[in-house]
Structure 1
Amino acid sequence: MKTSGSRFGKCLYFTSNALARKVEKLAQECWKPLGLSPSHAYLLMAVLEEPGLQPTQLAGELQLQPSTITRLIEKLEEQKLVQRTTEGKLTNVYPTPKAKQLFPKMQACQQDFYTRYVAIVGQDISTQLVQDMSQVADKL
């Protein structure tokens, strides 16, 4: 599906959603060997890199709604990859030993994803695109 020549090719909404669908498909292919969706994987990687994160921190970092974060955490708990602890009103999320063992494979999946999209669009374009999209997301 080409967007540049379509009726809506200059529309941010249409173009960003078309890109998101294609990126999602590629990401799912890369994370499939671990049986994790990209959203589950990135949440778990955040918790592995900084154990004890609170769900609100994860929501901000991953730019997802708190209810979505809760569902992702619940699924990862079912898979015995994270555990929550509660102290008063604070909830913290920690990786399990099983998750820690997965970390090198997760890094390999992340690298595979990066390698694949850079091979398609090129290093310079991918770097600039990520920077530009981050700036636009921050402004919106």
Structure 2
Amino acid sequence: MLESYIKECLYFTANRLSRVVTKMAEDEFAVSGLAPTYAFLMMAVYDKEGISQKELSEILHLQPSTVTRLIEKLVQKKLITSKSEGRRSLIFCTEKGKALKSLIYECWDNLRARYNEILGQEQGDLLTLNLYQVSDQLERKE
């Protein structure tokens, strides 16, 4: 009986999926020396040099305080710099950070290839899109 409750519960199912995918991502990004969330933050900075902390929070769907901690850690590693412009903090890559770009994107490609090998590319892409849309829908209802 409990097993059926768990299988029918979005909370437990989503957390189980999160743990499985997190493990895969951590394995794939390990060679970069960065946890996946740090790597995705770096990808956002690669995409837009001078991105604001607020934009990073919105893109990564993380609380501003979490993004601040991530940025501080990447600044300590000398991968990014943070420059204040009025009330905004703008984030830029250092040369050391730029040197990781191809490796980070390779890790991202490897992660996608890994779950697409199991799910199939069409199913993996569809699942990702559906989860993103459902997350948006649930977030707006809170």
User: Into which bin does the TM-score normalised by the smaller protein fall?
Assistant: over 0.9
> Partner of 1:64: helix, strand, or coil?
coil
* Mapped contact 2:25–2:111 kept (Cα < 8 A): yes
* Mapped contact 1:48–1:99 kept (Cα < 8 A): no
Aligned-residue Cα RMSD (Å) equals 1.0
Q: Distance in 2 between matches of 1:6 and 1:123?
A: 29
User: Whose helix proportion is higher, 1 or 2?
Assistant: 2
> Partner of 1:91: helix, strand, or coil?
strand
**Structure 1 residue ranges, 4+ long, deviating more than 6 angstroms after superposition:** none
Match of 1:108 in 2: 106
Q: How far off is 1:6 after superposition?
A: 4.6
Write the letter of the residue equivalent to 1:17.
N
- TM score, norm. by length of structure 2: 0.92
* Mapped contact 1:84–1:91 kept (Cα < 8 A): yes
Aligned residues: 136
Deviations 1:75-94, CA, capped at 9 Å, x for gaps: 10011000000121111000
Match of 2:52 in 1: 54
- What is the aligned counterpart of 1:39 among 37, 41, 50? 37
* Mapped contact 1:53–1:92 kept (Cα < 8 A): yes
What runs of 5+ residues in structure 2 fail to find an aligned partner?
A: none
Q: How far off is 1:128 after superposition?
A: 0.9
Match of 1:25 in 2: 23
- What is the aligned counterpart of 1:65 among 60, 63, 66? 63
Write the letter of the residue equivalent to 2:45.
V
